[in-house]
Structures are given as structure tokens and as C-alpha cells.
């Protein structure tokens, strides 16, 4: 039996459950994000024409995926105008109807069609002489829309980026660029522990802090509570004074609990859990599988990883004399920021205006309200504009991260074909994150499951019987959406095991995969990657060389295959990725350059997953929570496979293959399988010394 878990069903189920437990007066309950489906009627609020000017208000957050450019291309094709005739603006809570958060690689896949229909409706109305008034949307079939049927002038090209010139010339685009008259600078200090752990202030030296040049105020408010972490606000005249004030405060905290890496790994240790309980909490596949020996049996562990956005989260808030609160945020959901601030501060919705700014990297990490609420509370208390920007240390300690996961994957073959597949794993929450839900409420959602944890765990290959199940474990650190959600770690495990299966079968890893692929589009990208990959590079003497392959499906709609070449120094165990080649199918491509850029980003994330990225509770900077350096990056090439299917997501797809291709290349070069991420050079060196 196969159990399909769908995000919308989960969210719908959650709403039904919460309707039972939400009681009048329970203001401390979390705010649940609203997720309206985009449609042409809402799309009419995104596009306007007045006095000869066309304006597109982009219904998605712009966070480096350059969706503003892609949606502008669609609008220009449908309106029959050139790009210089269309002004583009980012949205705020006052400029368009509510839209759902920018997540899940949905922007082109779900918003292109309603935008195209809205623009075609506007074009038709103007053709008929209607230049003002309210329009009713026309549900044009896709094949009648210029932009989505291959008849347009701009879709399929790569025009100049919206905000591209502003980015390279340093013009203000981000919330961190906002400057207001009389603006102050704030920070909320907390105990040096993750917010999941109970912590409270014991003592501080306000007198000493008030003597620091630039000190303005100390703010104590229950509204600054983040999960179980008490917060104390400090406000200064300059950003530089904040560090000196914090040091002078000499705050002492009571911390009830620990969050060390060893305890976290023990909590999700899949072998311990399998020994205690044969069954998992939730199943994706659950076919009966007989007991017996396994041909492949792998334990793979994936650690916590930070989002590592280059711009730490930031928000600016200003209270007006009439009681209105205005905010500038770098968030993936400005409407959710408004909802949280209104609920926590007791302000009516019509009194809060949130402007969306360009986001300097998010990757799923800027979906909840943290710094935004902090800025709002401080501005409300002081009745002055306040900017709050987290430090890198705060990002690494107080934000939520990719959850760790522990996997046991086993396979049985018969006559060179995959017969039985068993994949048990444990992880922490992603969609129903502890960063938002208290423990008691999370237990209710555990009854439903977590589609974010399950993402990418469905086996995309033929087998006579499949069993894939997982346990959810609330951890003492906050976890949540991280680029691709569970797809990156889960696909890494699947593709590592498939590589081992090919070795047991005595087959080339590409040939073995092709024999087991059922989805034609997945087969197509794999064949394209092989056909267009460069020749094996010639290496000097002494280096070990390997080529690895991996492929996968993202959200059942997008497909990727990656070939990676690595070289390994047998003396130092240094691993160098030489080249990564990706074939990618996300349907009809609106902007080829930007799809390639998204693929390249995913390839680098895969490299980071395998070679560098880890986290500890003590990490305070990129030296202690490393990300890939420019010198580690290989040459990258991307081949786009477009056979005219409707557009789907590109922002997270290639992560299903990038990391595993590197690990499989290391296996080909050295005979050693990466089973603990990131790769441990000392373990590889022990293997190589044992070989010699």
C-alpha cells in the first residue's frame, strides 16, 4: 500500500484541528499563515493601467530568484508592450490582495497563468475601449495566451534584470538600506541558547549601559518573548553603540536545558529508534517486505545546517502620531508579518502597513516573524523609527535551521534488478516547525505528518516492494524549511543507495538507473546529462579521479540529473570538485538565464552539503558554520530541457541530485562511501591508508 502525503491536505487538516482548539481569548496561540490560491481575479490587482502607464506589482517576494523579471516578461507578452513601457514594483500589504508566502518554487508554476489571464483581460478591455472601472477576469485557455503558448516576444529570452543596475550600483533596495529621519537602532539580547530552551534574565547592569555613548533606552516587554527565550531590547543612536551597550549590560541568564550536537544526534539516531520500535510514525510507501539478508545496507546521517543568507534578517518600524505602524521588511510573506504584529501587539489590521523590500537571501528561512516583531515592539515603545538587524551570531543561534536526519536505507536485488527497498529515517519538523508551534500543538500536527520532512523520500525507481517511513522528533533547536525542505537530504540518501545497488548489480550507475526509471521526463534529463557532459579531464599523476551521477524529481513536477567530476589527493584526502553538469527540466522556460542561475545555486548548495556545511550551538560566524568558498567552486554547466510542458519550479529542483553526484564521484575515485555529512577527511584518509 502507498500512502500519499500532500501539503494542502496537511494544511487543510491543520486548520480543521485548530478550529477545535482555538478558544476565545487565546491570544498566545500562534498565527497560522493564510495560503490563498492565486487566480485571475486576484491577478487583476497585480496589473494596472492609468494615464498611459502600465504598472506590475509583483505578487511574490524578490529574494534573488529574479521573479520580478520573469513575471514582467509574461505581462509584456500579454499586454503587447515592450519592457520599457511597464513599471515594476514590489508589493506591500496595501498594494495588492493577500498572496501566500513566496515558498516552494511556486512563483512561475502557480502565478504565471493568473497573471497572464489578468493581463490578457486588461488588454482585451482596452481594445474594446474600456479605460477605467472594474474588470471581470476572462479565463483564457492556456493555448490562447501569448506568453504561455510560445507566441510571445519576451518569454523564453533573458532581458535585463529588474533592479539589476540598482544592485550593482548600490542603490537602496533592501530593508537594511532604509533610512528614516531620526531613526534609532535596536537589538534584542537573549540568553546564549536556542529559543526552544527555557531562559530568563537574572541580572543586568542598566546603570553601566546607560553611560555608554549613544545609549537611548532599555526595553523590557513580554512581547519580546521568542518561544521560551526572554528578550531584552536595547536601543542606541548608532549601530556601533549596540555592541558596547550589550557588553556593559553584562546580562546574566538562567538557562534550563542544553542543545549540544551529541544530544541532538542521539534523539534522531535511526538505529536506536528501529531497535526500540519496528514501525515508523508515518509512511510514504508501506508495502510488505519479507525479512532476510540485504544486498545494500547504509546508515547515512545529515546534520543541522543554517540558511546562511548573506543579508542577516532586518526590519525597520515606525509609529506615526495617528497610531499607525509602518514597517519595511525583507520577508517571504509581508501579510504574515502584519498578522503576527497585529496579534501580538493588539493593533487593528488597518493600522499596520508592511512594505516588502528585496530580500538578500532567504531559502525558506525568512518565513516567520522574528526581527520584524522586535522592530515593531521597540518602535512602539519609543514612538521613534527603529531599525533592528540581527548579527551573524544571532542568525546562527536564534533562527531555525535545516533539521538533522538519520537514515537507514536497505535494498535487495534479484537478477540485477531492484527487488525490495526499505528506507527508515528520523528528522525534526519542517512545515509544522517548533519555531512557530508550541509542543502540545505540534503533537496534534504529528498525527497528520509533515510533508516537508517527507519531501523527496518517495522512491522514483521501480521496485517490487517499497517501504519508506519516518519519525518526527521535536528537538531543543528550532528547525524548519530550508531550500528544498527534505528533498535535499532524502534524495541524497536515495541516490547514494542506488549507486551502491548498481555496484552490487555489476552495472554502470547510469544504465542501472535507466533500467529502473518509470517517469519519461526523469529518464530524459538523465540521458541529456550523459550526452552533453564534457569528457573526463586529464589529471596529473598522484590524484585519484571519479565521476558520479545522480538524478531526481522535485514535487512531482520538475526533474534534474547531475554529473560531477572530482579529484582526491590520496595523501591529504583533499577533495576537489572539478566540474558539475546539470540537465534540468522545469517545463516551459520563461527566462533561461535565471533558470540556469537557480540551477547553479542548487549545485553549490549540494557541494556545501557534502563538503562544508555543519552547525553547532556555539557557532557565531561563517568560520564556525562554514559555507562553500569561491575557491572551492568547480566549473558549472546547465542544459535546459524544454519540451513545452507547463512551467514548474526551478528554485529548488537540482538540489535533489547535486550533493549525491559529488558523493558518488568520491566513491568512484576512492571506493569509500560518504555516510556522514559533511565529508570527514579523517575518515577518508583512514580508508585510503588502509587501501595502501
Q: Which three cell numbers stand for residue 194?
A: 536556542
CATH of domain 40-169: 3.30.365.10
User: What's the pLDDT at 52?
Assistant: 83
CA distances from 450 to 28, 269, 428, 557 (A): 23, 19, 9, 20
- Please identify every stretch of the chain with a pLDDT value under 50, giving residue numbers as ranges: 1-26
Residue-wise DSSP of 107-125: HHHHHHHHHHHHHHHHHHH
**Residue extent(s) of CATH 3.30.365.10 domains in the chain:** 40-169, 175-257+313-389, 269-309+400-508
526: exposed, middle or buried (Cβ count in 10 Å: 0-12, 13-18, 19+): buried
Cell triple for 144: 490562447
Q: Shortest CA distance to 544 belongs to which of 671, 439, 429?
A: 671
Q: pLDDT tens, 189-234?
A: 999 999 999 999 999 999 999 999 999 999 999 999 999 999 999 9
pTM, entire model: 0.93
Find all residues with CB under 8 Å of 168, minimum gap 6, and list them: none
Distance CA 250, CA 23 (A): 41
**Which CATH architecture describes the domain 175-257+313-389?**
2-Layer Sandwich (3.30)
Among the listed residues 458, 450, 452, the one whose alpha carbon sits nearest the alpha carbon of residue 484: 452
599 DSSP assignment? H
**What pLDDT does residue 28 have?**
66
CATH architecture of 269-309+400-508: 2-Layer Sandwich (3.30)
Neighbours of 320 (CB within 10 A): 12
In this prediction, residue 8 carries a pLDDT of 40
Peptide bond into 678 cis (omega under 30): yes
- The pLDDT value recorded for residue 261 is 87
pLDDT of residue 692: 53
The pLDDT of residue 13 is 37
Burial class (CB in 10 A: 0-12, 13-18, 19+), 279: exposed
Amino acid at each position: 500500500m502507498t500512502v500519499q502525503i500532500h501539503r494542502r491536505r496537511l494544511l487543510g487538516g491543520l486548520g480543521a484541528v485548530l478550529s477545535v482548539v482555538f478558544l476565545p481569548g487565546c491570544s498566545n496561540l500562534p498565527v497560522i499563515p493564510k495560503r490563498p490560491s492565486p487566480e485571475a481575479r486576484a491577478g487583476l490587482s497585480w496589473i494596472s493601467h492609468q494615464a498611459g502607464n502600465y504598472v506590475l506589482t509583483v505578487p511574490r517576494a524578490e529574494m534573488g530568484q529574479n521573479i520580478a523579471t520573469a513575471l514582467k516578461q509574461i505581462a509584456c507578452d500579454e499586454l503587447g508592450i515592450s519592457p520599457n513601457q511597464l513599471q515594476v514594483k514590489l508589493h506591500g500589504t496595501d498594494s495588492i490582495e493577500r498572496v501566500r508566502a513566496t515558498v516552494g518554487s511556486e512563483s512561475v508554476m502557480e502565478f504565471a497563468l493568473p497573471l497572464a489571464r489578468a493581463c490578457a483581460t486588461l488588454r482585451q478591455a482596452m481594445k474594446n475601449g474600456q479605460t477605467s472601472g472594474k474588470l471581470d477576469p476572462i479565463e483564457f485557455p492556456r493555448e490562447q495566451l501569448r506568453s504561455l503558448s510560445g507566441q510571445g516576444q519576451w518569454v523564453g529570452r533573458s532581458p535585463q534584470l529588474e533592479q539589476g543596475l540598482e544592485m550593482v550600483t548600490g542603490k537602496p533596495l533592501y530593508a537594511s538600506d532604509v533610512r528614516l529621519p531620526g531613526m534609532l537602532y535596536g537589538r534584542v539580547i537573549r540568553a546564549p541558547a536556542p529559543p526552544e530552551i527555557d531562559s530568563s534574565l537574572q541580572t543586568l547592569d542598566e546603570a553601566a549601559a546607560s553611560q555608554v555613548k549613544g545609549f537611548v533606552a532599555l526595553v523590557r516587554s513580554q512581547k519580546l518573548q521568542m518561544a521560551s527565550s526572554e528578550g531584552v531590547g536595547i536601543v542606541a543612536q548608532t549601530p556601533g553603540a549596540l555592541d558596547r551597550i550589550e557588553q556593559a549590560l553584562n546580562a546574566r541568564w538562567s538557562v534550563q536545558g542544553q542543545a549540544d550536537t551529541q544530544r541532538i544526534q542521539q534523539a534522531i539516531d535511526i538505529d536506536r529508534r528501529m531497535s526500540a520500535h519496528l514501525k515508523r510514525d508515518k509512511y510514504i510507501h508501506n508495502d510488505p517486505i519479507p525479512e532476510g539478508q540485504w544486498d545494500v545496507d547504509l546508515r547515512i546521517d545529515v546534520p543541522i545546517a543554517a540558511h546562511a543568507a548573506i543579508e542577516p534578517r532586518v526590519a525597520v518600524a515606525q509609529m506615526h502620531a495617528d497610531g499607525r505602524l509602518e514597517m519595511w521588511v525583507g520577508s517571504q510573506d509581508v501579510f504574515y508579518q502584519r498578522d503576527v504584529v497585529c496579534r501580538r501587539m493588539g493593533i487593528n489590521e488597518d493600522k499596520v502597513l508592511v512594505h516588502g523590500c528585496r530580500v538578500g537571501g532567504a531559502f525558506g528561512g525568512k518565513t516567520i516573524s522574528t526581527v520584524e516583531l522586535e522592530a515593531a515592539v521597540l518602535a512602539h515603545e519609543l514612538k521613534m523609527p527603529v531599525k533592528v538587524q540581527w548579527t551573524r551570531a544571532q542568525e546562527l543561534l536564534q533562527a531555525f535551521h535545516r533539521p538533522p536526519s538519520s537514515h537507514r536505507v536497505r535494498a535487495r536485488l534479484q537478477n540485477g534488478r531492484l527487488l525490495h527497498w526499505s528506507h527508515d529515517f528520523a528528522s525534526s519538523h519542517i512545515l509544522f516547525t517548533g519555531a512557530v508551534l508550541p509542543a502540545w500543538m505540534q503533537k496534534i500536527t504529528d498525527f497528520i505528518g509533515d510533508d516537508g520532512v517527507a519531501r523527496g523520500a518517495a522512491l522514483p525507481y521501480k521496485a517490487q516492494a517499497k517501504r519508506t517511513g519516518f519519525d518526527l522528533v521535536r528537538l531543543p533547536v528550532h528547525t524548519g524549511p530550508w531550500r528544498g525542505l527534505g528533498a535535499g537530504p532524502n534524495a541524497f540518501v536515495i541516490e547514494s543507495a542506488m549507486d551502491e545497488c548498481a555496484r552490487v548489480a555489476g552495472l554502470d550507475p547510469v544504465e542501472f538507473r535507466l533500467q529502473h526509471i518509470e517517469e519519461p521526463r526523469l529518464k530524459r534529463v538523465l540521458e541529456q546529462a550523459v550526452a552533453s557532459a564534457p569528457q573526463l579531464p586529464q589529471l596529473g599523476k598522484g590524484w585519484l579521479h571519479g565521476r558520479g551521477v545522480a538524478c531526481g524529481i522535485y514535487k512531482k513536477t520538475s526533474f534534474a540529473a547531475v554529473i560531477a567530476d572530482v579529484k582526491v589527493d590520496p595523501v591529504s584526502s583533499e577533495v576537489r570538485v572539478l566540474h558539475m553538469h546539470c540537465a534540468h527540466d522545469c517545463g516551459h522556460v520563461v527566462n533561461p538565464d535565471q533558470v540556469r542561475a537557480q540551477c547553479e545555486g542548487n549545485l553549490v548548495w549540494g557541494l556545501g552539503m557534502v563538503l562544508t556545511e555543519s552547525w553547532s550551538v556555539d557557532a557565531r560566524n561563517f568560520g564556525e558554520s562554514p559555507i562553500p568558498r569561491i575557491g572551492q567552486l568547480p566549473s558549472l554547466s546547465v542544459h535546459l530541457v524544454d519540451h513545452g510542458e507547463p512551467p514548474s519550479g526551478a528554485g529548488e529542483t537540482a538540489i535533489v541530485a547535486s550533493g549525491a553526484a559529488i558523493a558518488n564521484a568520491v566513491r568512484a575515485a576512492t571506493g569509500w562511501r560518504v555516510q556522514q555529512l559533511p565529508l570527514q577527511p579523517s575518515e577518508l584518509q583512514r580508508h585510503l591508508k588502509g587501501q595502501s
